[in-house]
């Protein structure tokens, strides 16, 4: 694999998942999944709906146990332990706040027993309420809080016992876009301040890219790639990752000698296929921001002509749809440079793609 190194955490390992599979009756939801998470690391599980993210998270939590494989946490084999004997806090997608207990009651719910005498528990609750900024709402019931406030209560409740591991199952998916963005930075800040090892499940790639130390990309019960956000974005390990993470135009092509790709009459230099045999089928992906247009393309040797098939205004950039010999490409142009390019539908424009920016994978 391209970045085998990234499959291991940078620091000391806190949690390992080895060859874990999970079957529901005849259906296999997880196929031989292995990964490890470093102490204090923030790892995201990213993948389309139904790919097994929640299943993997619940196997780590012990809420639904793995069918086979091994999970160790802080050197302890926890594979078969019931959840109550493990050390984690979890935030559910629905938050699962107890509706008949107020904010303080929810946060302090797990602070009981000899370890938490009344006074100590009360002080801890007050501290957590301050951490998540809900001082004014301590006596309110969940139904009286906004979605974002409920989310903070759930987070505080999960952190109350000072767990070694924090699990978040799509913690932000029930919120609107603006609150999501604010809360995800807050979650990251709290996580960094406490240094708690954290795993977050999400199907929102922007969320995963923006706050994770590393991302685990999953598809159909398998891990496709593990790596830093930049690696996953810049060097996708598979066609699936290339299409799922980030935006790209894609097309089928044939490998030509000397590291070139041919699609119809278009021929492109592509470093990624240098090691593939000539004549092999491949699927190529090109990110819109990597496509050069007009004067910017002139400097590149393999520049070719394309026809503008449509222009989308996206605010800071405009996305240009390009037709080349039956292949569709996308290019992003900063909005303020649009006037200079003189683009219009059906206009012809010079296009170039740097050979090191073409992502290609053997196909079929």
Partner 1 sequence: MAELALVRPRAGRDQRIMQGALLLAAGFLALFLLLPLAWLLVRAFQDAEGAFVGLANFAAYVTTPALAASAWNSLWVAALTTLLVVPLAFCFAYALTRSRIPGKPFFRAVMLLPVLAPSLLPALALIYLFGNQGMLRGWLLGHSIYGPIGIVLAQVFYCFPHAALILSVALAGADGRLYEAAAALKVGRWRMFTTITLPSATYGLVSAAVVVFTLVVTDFGIAKVIGGQFPVLATEVYKQVVGQQNFNMGAVVGIVLLLPAVGGFLLERWAQGRQAGVLSGRSVLYAPAARLARDVPLLLLCLAVAVALLSLVGIAVWGSAIRFWPYNLTLTWANYDFGRFDSAGWDALLLSVRMAGLTALFGTAIVFLVAYVLERGVASGPLPALVRFAASMPLAVPGLVLGLAYILFFNEPLNPLGFLYGTLAILVLNSLVHFYTVCHLTAVTAIRQLDPEFESASASLKVPVWLTFWRVTLPICLPAILEILVYLFVNAMTTVSAVIFLYGPDTKPASIAVVHMDEAGQSSAAAAMACTILAVNLGLKLLHLAMGSAIERWTQGWRRR
Ligand X SMILES: Nc1ncnc2c1ncn2[C@@H]1O[C@H](COP(=O)(O)OP(=O)(O)OP(=O)(O)O)[C@@H](O)[C@H]1O
What is the contact mask toward Mg ion in residues 25 to 64, using x (rule: CB under 5 A)? Answer: -----------------------------x----------
195 binds, among partner 1, ligand X, Mg ion, none (CB under 5 to 8 A by kind): none
Any contact of residue 141 with partner 1 (CB under 8 A)?
Answer: yes
Closer to Mg ion at the Cβ: 54 or 79? 54
Find the binder of partner 1 among 74, 98, 176, 340 (CB under 8 A).
98
- End-to-end Cα, the chain, rounded Å: 19
Task: Report the nearest approach of partner 1 to the CB of residue 218 (Å).
Answer: 19
229 binds, among ligand X, Mg ion, partner 1, none (CB under 5 to 8 A by kind): none
What is the contact mask toward partner 1 in residues 15 to 34, using x (rule: CB under 8 A)? Answer: ---xx-x----------x--
Any contact of residue 63 with partner 1 (CB under 8 A)?
Answer: yes
Find the binder of ligand X among 6, 33, 46, 51 (CB under 6 A).
51
Any contact of residue 151 with Mg ion (CB under 5 A)?
Answer: no
189 CB-contact burial (10 Å; exposed 0-12 / middle 13-18 / buried 19+): exposed
Backbone torsions φ then ψ of 204, nearest 5 degrees: -100, 110
Backbone torsions φ then ψ of 207, nearest 5 degrees: -60, -50
Touching partner 1, residues 321-360 (CB under 8 A): none
Hey, CA dihedral for 78, 79, 83, 89, is it positive or negative?
A: positive
Q: Taking contact as CB under 6 A, which single stretch among the options 12-20, 45-53, 130-138, 349-357 is the one that binds ligand X?
A: 45-53
52 binds, among ligand X, partner 1, Mg ion, none (CB under 5 to 8 A by kind): ligand X
Task: Report the nearest approach of ligand X to the CB of residue 52 (Å).
Answer: 4
Any contact of residue 54 with ligand X (CB under 6 A)?
Answer: yes
Number of residues that bind ligand X (CB under 6 A): 12
Find the binder of ligand X among 12, 49, 99, 301 (CB under 6 A).
49
Any contact of residue 106 with Mg ion (CB under 5 A)?
Answer: no
Any contact of residue 68 with partner 1 (CB under 8 A)?
Answer: yes
Task: Report the nearest approach of Mg ion to the CB of residue 282 (Å).
Answer: 33
Any contact of residue 252 with partner 1 (CB under 8 A)?
Answer: no
Find the binder of ligand X among 55, 102, 198, 205 (CB under 6 A).
55
**Among 268, 283, 278, 258, which Cα is nearest to 324's?**
268
94 binds, among ligand X, partner 1, Mg ion, none (CB under 5 to 8 A by kind): partner 1
Can you name the residues that pair with 156 across neighbouring β-strands?
none
Closer to ligand X at the Cβ: 24 or 98? 24
Ranked by CB distance to Mg ion, the top (closest) residue is 54
Helices 147-159 and 177-194 meet at what angle, rounded to 10?
20
Residues that bind ligand X (CB under 6 A): 24, 27, 29, 47, 49-55, 203
Binding site for partner 1 (CB under 8 A): 18-19, 21, 32, 61, 63, 65-70, 79-85, 88-90, 92, 94, 96-102, 109-110, 112, 141-144, 157-158, 160-161
């Amino acid at each position: 694999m391209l970045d085998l190194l990234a499959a291991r955490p940078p620091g000391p390992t806190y949690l390992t998942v080895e060859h874990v599979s999970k079957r529901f009756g005849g259906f296999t939801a997880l196929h031989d999944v292995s990964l490890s998470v470093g102490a204090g690391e923030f790892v995201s599980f990213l993948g389309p709906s139904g790919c097994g993210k929640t299943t993997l998270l619940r196997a780590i939590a012990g809420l639904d146990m793995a069918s086979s494989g091994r999970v160790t946490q802080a050197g302890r084999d926890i594979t078969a332990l019931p959840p109550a004997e493990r050390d984690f806090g979890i935030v559910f997608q629905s938050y699962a706040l107890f509706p008949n207990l107020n904010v303080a009651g929810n946060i302090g719910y797990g602070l009981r027993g000899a370890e938490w005498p009344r006074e100590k528990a009360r002080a801890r609750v007050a501290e957590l309420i301050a951490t998540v900024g809900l001082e004014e709402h301590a006596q309110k019931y969940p139904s009286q809080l906004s979605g974002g406030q409920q989310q903070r209560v759930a987070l505080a409740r999960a952190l109350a016992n000072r767990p070694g591991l924090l699990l978040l199952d799509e913690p932000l998916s029930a919120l609107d876009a603006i609150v999501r963005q604010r809360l995800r930075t807050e979650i990251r800040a709290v996580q960094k301040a406490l240094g708690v090892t954290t795993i977050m499940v999400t199907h929102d790639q922007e969320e995963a890219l923006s706050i994770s130390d590393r991302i685990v990309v999953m598809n159909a019960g398998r891990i496709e790639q593990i790596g830093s956000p930049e690696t996953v974005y810049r060097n996708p390990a598979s066609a699936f990752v290339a299409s799922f993470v980030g935006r790209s135009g894609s097309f089928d092509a044939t490998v030509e000698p000397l590291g070139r790709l041919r699609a119809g009459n278009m021929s492109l230099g592509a470093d990624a296929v240098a090691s593939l045999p000539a004549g092999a089928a491949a699927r190529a992906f090109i990110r819109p921001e990597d496509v050069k247009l007009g004067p910017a393309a002139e400097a590149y040797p393999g520049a070719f002509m394309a026809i503008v098939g449509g222009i989308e205004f996206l605010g800071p950039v405009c996305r240009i749809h390009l037709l080349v010999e039956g292949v569709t490409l996308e290019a992003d142009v900063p909005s303020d440079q649009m006037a200079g390019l003189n683009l219009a539908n059906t206009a012809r424009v010079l296009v170039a793609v740097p050979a090191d920016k073409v992502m290609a994978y053997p196909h079929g």
